[in-house]
Amino acid sequence: MSIMDSILEILQQTLSVEDKFVSLHEPNFSGNEWLYVRECIDTGWVSSVGKFVDRFERDLAEFTGAKYAIGVVNGTAALHISYLLAGVVAGDEVLVPTLTFVGTVNPIAYIGAIPHFIDAEEHSLGLDPQVLDKYLNEITRREGGVCVNKRTGRPIRALCVMHTLGHPVDIDLIDEICKKYHIILIEDAAEALGSYYKNVHVGHRGLMGALSFNGNKIITTGGGGAILTNNDELAKRAKHLTTTAKHPHQWLFEHDQVGYNYRLPNINAALGCAQLEQLPQFLDAKRLLTKQYQNAFEKVKGIRFITEPEYAKSNYWLNALLLDESNVSYRDSLLESLGKHNIMTRPLWNLQHTLPMYKDCPRMPITVAENLQKRLIKIPSSSQLVKRKNKHTVVCE
């Protein structure tokens, strides 16, 4: 049996596909979603003020272990505010993985700063700390406590890591590097709600972190995101900036700086509260699906099923297969064939340094990320794909 036939057979058997189209990741609405959303509609509290916004932020902080969670309209907005509050200004450089979604990078450009692209490593799919350390030692100098790129003369103000597909990077090593070079650490944890690094939830090891609750994430608020931080003053400033920098007043409209209309609406937060109530079950179901995949794919030669790093517990937001070098030529044919059989699969994103708006930005040698981008395939990973009895039931026996 060919590798293409083997993958198709395993996916069909694991997912019980039949004639239904299987998406990469669908939302699972099987709790109090309608009850909470209907309350917003019935009471009229649907916009950026309401009890569900406050509750969602409290519940999210409690779940992640962060001191503060500030709800915003999406993960990109969360990163934009995080970069601003990290002190990134126009003309600065921000170290960022090239192997990421464009939402990690665009907010850097919003500020007028310059993305500086870093390579990945195959184990976590995230930034490679060892390679990064050697690279920074070669290209930077410190001036008055600021890390400066010797080649461009620009400050390197911050580094943003991304926990790819939910798999945490080795944040201890990266944190050490940031401290060594006087660089501020930010976490893009948009894909990693429910992921843990050495038993600590990701997203608040750095100065700030960002979550996303887009419709394809492990929980969803429709659109939506959040900023995580343990810093009292930054949390206060984040909430102020994301509510148009308006001072609370019974009737006056007083704004003290350029702010952003980024607050999460109450109706979206209501959906998020219901989703958070079910998050432990979603995580259990996804890990069970991962185990089923892992057992099946270990018998297939020519591919490797991506598993969590040994130091981490991943939410397995999206499961993925890595083709051996000898099978790279089959990737596009495999994607096309699976689509014809009603199974959605996707490659990794186009590397950010190859996009037209970022092609002239500084970067280190990008050999590993280029290799991974050619070989990796993301496969269906919705929580309700586990032994689905009906549309709304997840069975985890």
What are the structural domains of the chain? 3-29+278-385 (3.90.1150.10), 33-275 (3.40.640.10)
Q: Which residues of the chain have pLDDT under 50?
A: 388-397
Amino acid letter, residue 393: T
In sequence order, what DSSP letters do the residues of 69-96 get, joined into one string?
A: EEEESBHHHHHHHHHHHTT--TT-EEEE
How much is the pLDDT for 177? 98
- Give CA separation, 180 vs 110, 143, 231, in Å: 28, 13, 21
In this structure, are residues 365 and 118 in contact, taking their beta carbons and an 8 Å threshold?
no
Question: H/E element holding 232?
Answer: helix 232-242
Please report the pLDDT score of residue 99 as a whole number.
98
Question: Residue 344: is it exposed, middle or buried by C-beta count within 10 angstroms (0-12/13-18/19+)?
Answer: middle
Residue 310 is predicted with a pLDDT of: 96
Q: What per-residue confidence (pLDDT) applies to 268?
A: 97
142, β-bridge pairs: 147
For residue 220 the two structure tokens come to 């969803």
pLDDT the model gives residue 388 = 47
Looking at residue 391, its pLDDT comes to: 43
What is the per-residue pLDDT for 18? 65
pLDDT in tens, 352-369: 999 999 999 999 999 999
Cβ(53)–Cβ(263) below 8 Å: yes
pLDDT of the residue at 248: 87
Q: What pLDDT does residue 393 have?
A: 39
**pLDDT at res. 275:** 98
Q: Considering the entire predicted model, what is its pTM?
A: 0.94
